Chains A and B, each alone.
Chain A
Amino acid sequence: MIEKLNRRSFLKATGASATVGSAALAGCTGDGSGGTAETTASDGAETDETETTAESEELSDTLNFYSWGGSTQEALNEHVIEPFEEEYGVTVKQSSFGGQDKMLANVRSSPEGSYDVIMPSTATSYAAAKQGLVEPLRLENIETWSNLMPVFEDFSVDPGESTHVAPLYYGTIGMGYNSDYVDDSNGLSWDLAFDEEFAGQVAIEGVPYVRVFTTALKLGMDPNEMVGDAGSYEEGVKQVYDAMAEQHELVKKYWTSGQELTSLFSNETAYVGEAWGGRILSLQDEGYDNLKYGIPEEGAYGFTDTLAIAKGSKNRYTAEKFIEFAYRDDVITNLAPDIGYPPATEATSSDVEALPDFDPSGGERLTFQDQAFKNEHQQEWSRTFEQIKLGNY
């Protein structure tokens, strides 16, 4: 077996100590000698950097990656993780989550260093940064950072001066519908999901902050102010609640997972409602040609899934290289069609442009929730949503 001269073994071979080179040539991963070599190297580089930085500025043997499960994980595996392992000689250890809540709780309660790269969404990146669960990104280590769409460069979801998350792809929570029952010839509007005709056949996402956001869009308000014609936030949000209570009468199910939404639409329990574009796309691939997805004229809740580095990561430099790798045009354009969402970088291809969420204006049309605004009002939105669900509102 011939050891491929990859970037990792190259870096190791050119390292300060001879043991490093021999270790790399022997193809050895993760034993004691590698560790000793790294400390030797860092001692040598102590001059201009602090010790900790210098120590981590070398590729590690392994990288712990905590990502969405299911088809997202499969796509990441094929297009990012395996090529990265091959090129850098790093073993990526994977674990997966099914929901952001669980991910956040798990990172928060695990010892520091349990995870290196995690995947917060727009909605949780604010909390992740506020709770100190993620390290700031050292952008100088991510050479491909400039590929990112300008709209994500000063991203409202990231509090403070430094950058904590690297958006990987974006999408919307737009309208999912069954074209056998829903007439889309006049274009799409959220009014369809408020139409008495579909009583008991509406399925929408059961997350309070998405509910108020979409409902505000439907009412023609700025979802990040919720004032509209009402004159004040208090009056505006009351209009939103009233509309939510009105829609509640038509709702069959508030779904909370991708699995749930796919089964609701595919077995025709729901005809119209909210959906994630990527999931509808995969249903179409399975032959459900009557299931459609689109962004209504009023707009839709925008989200991104990001890569971030977990607090206390022992492999911070490798994690940054992982992000750099994922941002490469060839990598991300292969990944995006398989994941079902367009990339957050400016890279594009015919497959990318065919994706339901693709925004030809380069992200200018996307509406994201202001996380500080959300943080301020979230508790009250949730309480009211629960009351609406119980029929108490």
Chain B
Amino acid sequence: MSNEQESTGGVRTSSAEGGELRERVFGLRTAVLRSDAVTGVFDRITGRERVFASVQAGFGLGWMLVFLFAPLLYIVSLSFWQRGAGGVVVQEFTLANYEYILTESVDLASLTFKNLYLTILFQSLKYGVFVTVGALLLGYVPAYFLGRTVTKWKAALLLLVVLPFWVPLIIRYYAWILVLGNQGLLVSMLGWVGIEASGFLYTELAVVSGLTQALLPFMILPIYNSVNEIDSSLIESAKTMGATPLRSFYEVTLPLTLPGVSAGVILVFILSVGSYMAPALLGAPSNTMVANLIESTFGQNLDWPLASAMGVVYLFVLFGLISVFNRFVGLDDVFGGGAE
């Protein structure tokens, strides 16, 4: 405590005589920045657009290289090593981790399939599909409304969509516990209309609904964006040519919002399949998802190599699924493919 006071006292005294010093530093900095050497470099860079562009791109790529690819490379190499006593990583090459992940408890002779990793991976993908469908059904209407409506409240309504992002995810899940719990909001509300319930927490429904409410904005925003871009004269002309509102929706609006829908679907699917907190906090014991399995392998079992192999396989499966999705939907349209 006393140290803190002393140090602030120290800052105060130095600030009294610091004015002059600051001016000198400022003057020096200006001189450096205006010197021919510095301005020359800037001129040369901005003068050549190509150099400028590659510096920009280089910065982004460098960032990716250091913070994404390097750790990923480490994880890939870890996945070929072994766990020693007490969780020490033994740097000897092995394929045992992958073999274990893919073939454990699989007996082709008796057709029994109880493979832990693949069962849990399949379960995660299943929840991902449920959440994506749920978010699409719940998100399309508000997104459509936001995109088509003409009201001065539009900004406020959009803010409401983004507002949950200001609250940390874990708090939103705890709030969901308060809603679904056995003494929760939903149970009380059902009680008012005479329905007895004992809470909905620690079920598959709790996981899927919790993820849906948490990820809904990721569905609404891209769809809103593509609805917003529709030229309203297209819909009007469909109607003048005799199309019913329903038909004009199916033939004009829906196809034009597909890019937004696919972007939303991809985002929500990826985020939900990789979810860790929702199954841990809201789920029943059997609702384990792949992130939970990787975490307990990494943390409790201190088996970094096996956990890494699990991560790598997960990455490949997800990548494969998105490539298949790409075949059908054409993500180039969504994210603006470079070929055009």
Contact = CB atoms under 8 A, between A and B. Distances in A.
Interface of A: 1, 27, 29, 91, 99, 101-102, 104-105, 126-127, 129-131, 159, 206-209, 248, 251-254, 256, 260, 263, 267-269, 375, 378-379, 382-383, 386-387, 389-392
B56 interface: no
Interface stretch (B82-90, B150-158, B215-223, B261-269): B82-90
B114 A251 contact: no
Given A252-B202, A256-B280, A267-B182, A130 B88 contact: yes
Interface in B92-148: 104-105, 114, 116, 119-120
Contacts of B199: 269
B298 interface: yes
Contact of B116 (A209, A253, A386): A386
A392 B122 CA distance: 14
B114 A392 contact: yes
A105 B298 contact: yes
B99 to A, nearest CB: 14
Contact of A268 (B120, B183, B202, B302): B183
B119 A392 contact: yes
B87 A127 contact: yes
Contacts of A207: 300
B181 interface: yes
Nearest to B182: A269
A91 B120 CA distance: 47
Given A126-B86, A131-B87, A390 B286 contact: yes
Contacts of A389: 285-286, 288
Given A91-B3, A105-B298, A267-B181, A390 B288 contact: yes
B116 A99 contact: no
B244 interface: no
A131 to B, nearest CB: 6
Contacts of B281: 260
B6 interface: yes
Contact of B86 (A209, A375, A386, A391): A375
B119 A268 contact: no
B242 to A, nearest CB: 56
B129 to A, nearest CB: 19
Contact of B301 (A260, A382, A387): A382
Contacts of B301: 378-379, 382
B312 interface: no
A89 B165 CA distance: 43
A101 to B, nearest CB: 3
Contacts of A159: 86
A269 B3 CA distance: 48
A1 B183 contact: no
A159 B281 CA distance: 35
16 contacts: A1-B2, A27-B2, A91-B3, A104-B87, A104-B302, A159-B86, A263-B177, A268-B182, A268-B183, A375-B85, A383-B116, A386-B296, A389-B285, A389-B288, A390-B116, A390-B286
A379 B305 CA distance: 13
A383 to B, nearest CB: 6
Contact of B302 (A29, A127, A390): A127
A40 to B, nearest CB: 23
Contacts of A104: 87, 299, 302
Nearest to B117: A386
A387 B114 contact: yes
Contacts of B318: none
A374 B182 CA distance: 37
Contacts of A101: 295, 298-300
B88 A131 contact: yes
A375 B86 CA distance: 6
B212 to A, nearest CB: 21
Interface residues of B, number: 37
Q: Which 4 A-B pairs have the closest CB atoms?
A: A130-B86, A101-B299, A127-B86, A392-B114
B85 A130 contact: yes
Given A127-B86, A254-B285, A391-B286, A27 B183 contact: no
B202 to A, nearest CB: 5
Interface of B: 2-3, 6, 83, 85-88, 104-105, 114, 116, 119-120, 177, 181-183, 199, 201-202, 280-281, 284-286, 288, 293, 295-303
A1 to B, nearest CB: 7
B110 to A, nearest CB: 15
A379 B299 CA distance: 12
A77 to B, nearest CB: 12
A272 to B, nearest CB: 16
A379 B2 CA distance: 50
A271 B6 CA distance: 53
A386 B2 contact: no
Contacts of B303: 379
Contacts of A91: 3
A1 B3 CA distance: 12
Q: Which of B85, B120, B284 has the most CB of A within 10 A?
A: B85
A383 B86 CA distance: 17
Nearest to A263: B177
Contact of B3 (A29, A390, A392): A29
A268 B285 CA distance: 18
Contacts of B119: 390, 392
Nearest to B297: A382
Of listed B86, B114, B284, B297, residue having the most chain A CB within 10 A:
B86
A269 B181 contact: yes
B316 to A, nearest CB: 22
B300 A208 contact: yes
Contacts of A391: 286
A383 B295 CA distance: 13
B58 to A, nearest CB: 27
A251 B300 contact: no
A267 B183 contact: yes
B104 to A, nearest CB: 8
A387 B114 CA distance: 8
Given A389-B286, A390-B116, A391-B286, A130 B87 contact: yes
A324 to B, nearest CB: 22
Given A131-B87, A382-B296, A392-B119, A253 B285 contact: yes
A129 B86 contact: yes
Contacts of B297: 382
Contacts of B83: 379
A104 B298 CA distance: 11
A206 B6 CA distance: 48
Contacts of B114: 387, 392
Contacts of A252: 202, 284
A383 B116 CA distance: 8
